């Protein structure tokens, strides 16, 4: 398929393709529901161990609004997501481990395509786990393209993260390969490691089905980065309005680590929220509707009328 060509396919979405140099990247779009008031252009960024559609456009029978893209499209958002290089339907041919910086490069290419295609001035961006790191680094590099930034299950220095402390024991193994195998047991472990019971079995199984239909291995780069190269993001260089979301039981996102990051964000339009009863992979949790509510409130928040005298001073 030629770059930029689109085809309406399953579940009412449209596939798009763009390039980062020689690398072909897959994007997925769901338009706002007819008759809704336009609410903005929203880009979802996936994490280390699953591609975009399983994370943000998942169908689970009997679970209303299981697809975050469908939910936000119904609220008037033009919703987009993309597979980073090495994931899902995007190219996997280069012999690299697809680290955080490479993921931010993907967002550079993908965002340019979305902005040109839609005519939007800037994007609302949500990233989860390593996707939050990619989104934050992208916002740091391209501040003019991000109007509001949501960082879920984020990690700054890694301090206070039991999951990363355990993962570091396998750092040499991750450094020795570009990809790591995954299977159904691995997907189950995501929901068992922090606080079992926060996600229902049907959702976990549907999530595993969707992930494994696209991939049987994942790049190691985000794991290597999160275990040995943090911090990768400078909070003082993120200019967008920002919300930090942390699940109550999340073993990745150390609470004090996030507070220190939050304190350094220069934009006074910022929020920090703890999501009760949630561990990791918040859109697949039993309390996922809480996440949707928080995000919609943040993304639809009116711009401040008064910013104070310092906001008008020249640097």
Whether 7 has a pLDDT exceeding 90, the answer reads no
Q: What angle do CA 265, 109, 132 make, to 5 degrees?
A: 35
| pLDDT-based confidence at residue 6 (cuts at 50, 70, 90) | low
Say how many C-beta atoms besides its own lie within 10 A of residue 201's C-beta.
9
The total number of structural domains that make up the chain: 1
- SS3 call for 208: helix
Q: The domain containing residue 296 runs over which residues?
A: 7-302
Q: Is residue 103 part of a domain?
A: yes
Q: How far is Cα 118 from Cα 253, in angstroms, rounded to an integer?
A: 34
Q: How far is Cα 1 from Cα 7, in angstroms, rounded to an integer?
A: 10
- SS3 call for 244: strand
Q: Is residue 112 part of a domain?
A: yes
Q: Is residue 313 part of a domain?
A: no
Whether 9 has a pLDDT exceeding 60, the answer reads no
Q: Is residue 2 part of a domain?
A: no
Whether 312 has a pLDDT exceeding 50, the answer reads no
Q: Is residue 315 part of a domain?
A: no
Q: Is residue 141 part of a domain?
A: yes
With 0.85 as the threshold, say if the pTM is over it. Answer: yes
Q: Is residue 308 part of a domain?
A: no
Residues 6+ apart with CB under 8 A from 16: 4, 5, 6, 26, 27, 28, 29, 113, 117
Q: Is residue 307 part of a domain?
A: no
Higher-pLDDT residue of 304 and 111 is 111
Whether 314 has a pLDDT exceeding 60, the answer reads no
| pLDDT-based confidence at residue 308 (cuts at 50, 70, 90) | confident
The CATH number given to whatever domain includes residue 141 is 3.40.50.1820
């Amino acid at each position: 398929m030629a770059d930029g060509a689109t085809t309406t396919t399953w579940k009412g979405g449209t596939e798009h393709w763009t390039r980062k140099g020689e690398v072909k990247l897959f994007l997925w779009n769901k338009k706002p529901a007819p008759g809704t008031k336009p609410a903005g252009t929203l880009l979802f960024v996936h994490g280390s161990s699953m591609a975009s559609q399983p994370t943000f456009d998942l169908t689970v029978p009997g679970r209303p609004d299981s697809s975050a893209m469908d939910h936000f499209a119904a609220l008037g958002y033009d919703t987009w997501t993309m597979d980073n290089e090495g994931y899902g339907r995007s190219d996997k041919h280069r012999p690299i481990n697809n680290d955080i910086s490479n993921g931010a490069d993907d967002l550079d290419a993908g965002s340019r395509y979305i902005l040109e295609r839609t005519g939007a001035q800037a994007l609302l961006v949500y990233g989860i786990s390593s996707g939050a790191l990619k989104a934050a680094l992208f916002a740091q590099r391209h501040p003019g393209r991000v109007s509001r930034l949501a960082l879920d299950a984020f990690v700054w220095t890694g301090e206070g993260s039991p999951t990363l402390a355990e993962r570091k024991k396998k750092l040499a193994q991750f450094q020795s390969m570009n990809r790591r195998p995954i299977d159904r047991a691995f997907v189950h472990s995501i929901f068992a490691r922090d606080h079992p019971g926060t996600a229902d079995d049907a959702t976990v199984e549907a999530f595993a089905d969707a992930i494994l239909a696209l991939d049987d291995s994942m790049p190691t780069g985000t794991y290597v980065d999160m275990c040995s190269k943090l911090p990768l993001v400078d909070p003082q260089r993120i200019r967008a309005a920002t919300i930090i979301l942390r699940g109550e039981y999340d073993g990745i996102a150390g609470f004090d680590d996030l507070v220190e990051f939050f304190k350094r964000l220069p934009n006074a339009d910022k929020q920090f929220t703890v999501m009760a009863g949630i561990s990791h992979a918040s859109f697949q949790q039993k309390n996922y509707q809480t996440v949707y509510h928080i995000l919609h409130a943040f993304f639809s928040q009116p711009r401040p009328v008064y910013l104070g005298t310092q906001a008008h001073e020249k640097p």
